[in-house]
Each structure stands twice: as C-alpha cells, then as structure tokens.
C-alpha cells in the first residue's frame, strides 16, 4: 500500500519544513532522526496495536446510515471515531506519541488543545503510562468546553489557561511551544494535529492513518470494494481528515473533501476558512496557508467549534489542495448546528460540532444513488452540550 510521505526535510511540495527556535533544535532533530526507526520496530507496533485494540476499542464501526442514505439518495456511511475511548480520533495519535516519548526517555508530557479532545486523550494516555501531563488551553475554550476541562483534571493533568490573543487554540499552541523552549530536556510536546515542525505532520498522519486503513477493509466487507466514491471530513489543523484520506490519496477513484469552518461566513471576517482565504506563511514551525493581513499579521479565526478555529492548516493539506487532490468546502455555524440536530434526531447519534461540519456538506453534494460516501464522524457531541442547549428552542 503506497504511503503519502514528505521528503527528508519534511516538505510536501513547498509546504512543511521545520522553522524552530535554536533552543528546540536538539529535541526536534533527535525526533526527526529517530521517530521512523522507533515507530517501525516490531515491539513498538505490537504495543501500539494492542492498546488500540484492547484500550481504545478499535476497529471503530463503519455504520451504514439507512436514514441519511434515504435523505441524500446515496449510500452514506459514518466512520464512528466517536466510539473510541475518550470520544474522538485524537487518542489514535496520543498513544503513539506518548509511547514514542517513553522510548526517547522523556519524563513529562505537554500538549495544546482546542475543543479539549486532544487534551483529554493526552491526559488519558499519560495516566495509563504513568507520565506527568500539562495541557495548555485557551481561556475562552476552557469556558465553552468545561466538561473536557474537568475530565483532564480528574485524570491528573494540569490545565493551564492561555490568556493571550483570542484565548483559543492558536494561543494555547503558542504557550505550549514557549513551555517546551523553557524545559527542553525532559519534556516531550505531543502535538495534536498534522501541524508544527517536521516530523510532527508526518508522524500524526501515520498514527491517524489507521482510520482509512480500517475503512478499506470494512467497505470491502460491506460493499465489495475498498474504495468509496467520496470521503468527507472536517478540517481545522487536519488530523482526522488526513487519517481518513491517507490510504485513498492518488487511488484514481475516491474524491476527498475537506470541510473548513466558515463561521459566520467566509467573507464576514468571522471565519476559520484557512484554505479559502489563506496566504503562504509560517505558523508554529511549518510553512503552510494561514489567515493573515497584508503585512503578515495573523488574523484571529472564528468558529462555533473550538476544534476548528485555527488560523493555519496542516502543510500536507495545503499541498493536496494546490495539487487538486482534495476538494475544499466550507460550512457555516448555522449549517453545522442544523446537521448536528438532524443526525441526532434521525440516527440517535450526537456528533461533535467539528464533525457536524462534515455532515452538513452532504447538502452541497450532487450525489447519485450508486455513490458510496464515507463521512468521518471524528468525535461525539457530549463536550458540546452547553452550545447545543442554546439551540433547543430554535432548531
């Protein structure tokens, strides 16, 4: 099975690389030199796969939604990443990275989080593997994602509020990087998406690629073909989308659709539609698209979804978009809310607000009855009940 890899310097075309402070050079260069060697060993793969099976609960189901299929007049499947332990795809990556950190001799783990799912997954893995854990989270996100904050604290993690900027994911990432610079020796930074300096985008993609690997096997069993006509996934930094796309890139058949958060609308100034509006720049250690002013100042993104309001995008997604290998769409807050209530009422599944953006894109697709569509349901909506409850009398 052909893999989608960057070059030796961590570039996908002209995107990626490693733009890092001198204080982090040794940490990042050691990781670049050793990550493939370690994660490809038999004992690492055996421990990872055992935990994914017995602890996380993989493989996650590929659910044929008869109700969505009837509505959209196509064959609609949901990849149920919401059924993972901790409620999202994030734990696929945190288990991999924390196992790697232990083999690198690190004693302390730090992470950033937006919606809180990556923070919960990191805290969970650290509890399991007995490592100290600190999670940085925007103060605004702490308020709108309180259930996940309490879960992290119950798991033993220290949650540190980022009070700068928009007090969201970008700012939490800034604080995590600053902490890493100040404590580089024993600290390992678990990045939660396909962003950051090389090798993080490639490493996270490899750990999340289990999603598309399972889809191929499950679809072969249910439809007699390993390749769907469409795979649809929401994109913030882009880890769940990269995992869902990974084994379908360049297969000559599957259309890959990345759905960004339009917020109040792409052209309203309150949006997180990075590829639609972004220009090339450097953010958090890699060259990619980001939303910025003419003089290069980052514009604060906005989305109702805490996991999608990031001003950048993973460099692999920037490359795939430029090459025409993915289609990029956008969904507003209102469209996402409507899709979330629709799935809840017709299938009894409450999706995460992030995943609801992917679901909402079904309304924009011109589908045939023979089309097989897989929507990656990246997480469950328990964490978003405070937001959803505001719409109970309006939907």
* Alpha carbons 129 and 102: distance in angstroms, whole number: 9
Taking CA atoms, 341 is separated from 76, 160, 357, 388, in Å, by 17, 32, 12, 9
Beta pairing partners, 327: 257
The DSSP symbol for 103 reads: H
Taking CA atoms, 283 is separated from 67, 117, 311, 392, in Å, by 41, 22, 9, 38
Give the position of tokens 């232990």.
102
Beta pairing partners, 62: 79
Closest alpha carbon to 183 in 191, 193, 175? 175
* Alpha carbons 31 and 188: distance in angstroms, whole number: 10
**Catalytic positions, written as ranges:** 90, 112, 378
* 8 A C-beta contact, residue 152 and residue 159: yes
User: What strand order describes the sheet that includes 286-290?
Assistant: 11-12, 15-16, 286-290, 279-283
* Alpha carbons 302 and 251: distance in angstroms, whole number: 34
* Alpha carbons 275 and 259: distance in angstroms, whole number: 10
- Which residues make Cβ contacts (< 8 Å) with residue 149, sequence separation at least 6? 116, 137, 142, 159
* 8 A C-beta contact, residue 219 and residue 372: yes
Beta pairing partners, 243: none
Taking CA atoms, 151 is separated from 116, 147, 265, 291, 349, in Å, by 9, 6, 33, 32, 21
């Amino acid at each position: 099975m052909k893999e989608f890899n960057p070059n030796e310097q961590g570039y996908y075309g002209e995107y990626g690389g490693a733009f890092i402070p001198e204080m982090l050079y040794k940490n990042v260069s050691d990781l670049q030199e050793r990550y493939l060697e370690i994660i490809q060993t038999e004992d690492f793969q055996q421990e990872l796969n055992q935990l994914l099976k017995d602890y996380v609960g993989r493989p996650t189901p590929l659910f044929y939604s008869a109700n969505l299929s009837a509505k959209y007049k196509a064959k609609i499947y949901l990849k149920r990443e919401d059924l993972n332990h901790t409620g999202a795809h994030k734990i696929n990556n945190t288990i991999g990275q924390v196992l790697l950190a232990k083999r690198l001799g690190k004693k302390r783990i730090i992470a950033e989080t937006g919606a809180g799912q990556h923070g919960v997954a990191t805290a969970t893995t650290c509890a399991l593997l007995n490592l100290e854990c600190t999670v940085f989270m925007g103060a605004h996100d702490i308020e709108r994602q309180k259930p996940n904050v309490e879960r992290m604290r119950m798991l033993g993690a220290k949650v540190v509020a980022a009070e700068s900027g928009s007090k969201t994911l970008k700012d939490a990432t800034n604080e995590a990087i600053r902490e890493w610079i100040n404590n580089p020796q024993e600290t390992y930074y678990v990045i939660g998406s396909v962003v950051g300096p090389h090798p993080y985008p490639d490493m996270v993609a490899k750990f999340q690629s289990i999603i598309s690997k399972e889809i191929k096997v499950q679809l072969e069993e249910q439809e007699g073909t390993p390749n769907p006509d469409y795979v649809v996934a929401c994109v913030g930094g882009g880890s769940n989308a990269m995992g869902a796309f990974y084994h379908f890139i360049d297969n000559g058949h599957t259309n890959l659709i990345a759905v960004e958060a339009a917020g109040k609308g792409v052209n309203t100034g309150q949006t997180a539609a990075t590829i639609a509006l972004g220009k090339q720049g450097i953010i958090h250690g890699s060259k990619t698209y980001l939303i910025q002013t003419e003089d290069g100042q980052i514009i604060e993104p906005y989305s109702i979804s805490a996991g999608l309001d990031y001003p950048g995008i993973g460099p692999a997604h920037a490359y795939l978009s430029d090459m025409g290998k993915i289609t990029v769409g956008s969904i507003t807050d209102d469209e996402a809310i409507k899709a979330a209530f629709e799935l809840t009422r017709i299938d009894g599944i409450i999706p995460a607000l992030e995943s609801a953006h992917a679901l909402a894109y079904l309304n924009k697709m011109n589908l045939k009855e023979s089309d097989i569509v897989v929507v990656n349901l990246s997480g469950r909506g328990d964490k978003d009940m405070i937001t959803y409850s505001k719409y109970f009398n309006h939907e």
